[in-house]
Amino acid sequence: MPSHGGIDLIKILVSKKLYRYSSKVESFLEDGYYTTEDIELCIETGSVYKVERDEQKNSIGNKKYVIKGKDTCGNDFYTAGKIINCDGGRVYFLITAHQ
């Protein structure tokens, strides 16, 4: 895995399907508010809007990222997540996602 971080690493992880999501995101997906394709496209087309301190302190660099991009319909969409160590490697953990 490349040593660089931030949005570049997040985009690589998501493109390789190396992401997990919270029960909140899972609930929104199950209820049909958006799809995994919406999340992936948001990150692929998006940029970091804000970097915050990770209160749980279990992320790489103690950071959470808010990414703004577009969903599959071209609407504004954002995600919030963090890079974590999981299953022997790094994954992007989605805390929330919204239109």
Is 70 within 8 Å of 42 (Cβ atoms)? yes
| Cα separation values, 55 from 1, 15, 85, Å | 25, 27, 16
What range does the domain containing 74 cover? 6-94
Q: Is residue 99 part of a domain?
A: no
pLDDT at 22 > cutoff 70: yes
pLDDT confidence of 4, banded at 50, 70, 90? low
> For residue range 48-94, what is the model confidence (pLDDT) as tens digits?
999 999 999 999 999 999 999 999 999 999 999 999 998 889 999 99
For residue 70, the cross-strand partners are 76
Tokens representing 92 are: 């992007």
Kindly report the pTM of this predicted structure: 0.89
Q: Is residue 44 part of a domain?
A: yes
Q: Is residue 84 part of a domain?
A: yes
Number of domains in the chain: 1
pLDDT at 1 > cutoff 50: no
Q: Is residue 1 part of a domain?
A: no
For residue 66, the cross-strand partners are 50, 80
Is 9 within 8 Å of 87 (Cβ atoms)? no
pLDDT at 3 > cutoff 60: no
